[in-house]
Amino acid sequence: MGVVAALVRAAFLVDGVYAEASRAYGLTPQQGQLLCVLMSRPYGMSELGETLGLAKSGLTGLVDRTVRRGLVRREADPRDGRAVRVGLTDQGAALAGKFYAETCRRMEALPSGLSGTERDRLARLLSRVVVDNEVPEVFVETATVSASGGSPS
């Protein structure tokens, strides 16, 4: 299999894991992504749209639906009274932690047929592709979460 086919199929594989984990927690994959991004801190709407790759209308709808579920809240930006930030509610933070742990567990299982050395090589190569393409941080390292007692630093 060539690199293009492998990357496309890997993207489908990862999307499928996200979708399964989301369903297990009554979320859409987009809501699951939103919760994971917000685990580290509240985001402004424009920064959040950039990070998630969503247009303003799509992001507004996603945030509206997630606010109605009580998982996120809008708050005034302390540096700009005209701007709004989106952050997790207590309920959202609790669900985000569970969803994150379950998603990590499922992702960890994907390369289970690889040796430790092969997993390390895969991580280095994928990290390089991600960094070279300036992919925003939408999912934090597992070690970061566990080292800080359940939420990313």
- Domain containing 99: what range? 3-147
Arithmetic mean of pLDDT over the chain = 87
Supply the pTM of this predicted model: 0.80
Q: In a 10 Å sphere around its CB, with 0-12 CB exposed, 13-18 middle and 19+ buried, how is residue 150 labelled?
A: middle
Listed residue (77, 146, 52) closest to 108, CA to CA: 146
End-to-end CA distance of the chain: 38
The answer to the question of residue 39 being in a domain is yes
- Write out the two tokens for 22: 């989301």
| 100-142 tens-digit pLDDT | 999 999 999 999 999 999 999 999 999 999 899 887 776 666 5
Residue 79: predicted pLDDT: 81
The answer to the question of residue 61 being in a domain is yes
Residue 70: predicted pLDDT: 96
Q: What is the domain-level CATH number for residue 91?
A: 1.10.10.10
The answer to the question of residue 153 being in a domain is no
The domain tally of the chain equals 1
**Whether the predicted pLDDT of 147 surpasses 60:** no
The answer to the question of residue 136 being in a domain is yes
Residue 16: predicted pLDDT: 93
Span 65-86, mean pLDDT? 89
pLDDT tier at 148, thresholds 50, 70, 90? very low
Span 33-56, mean pLDDT? 90
CA 57 to chain centre: 20
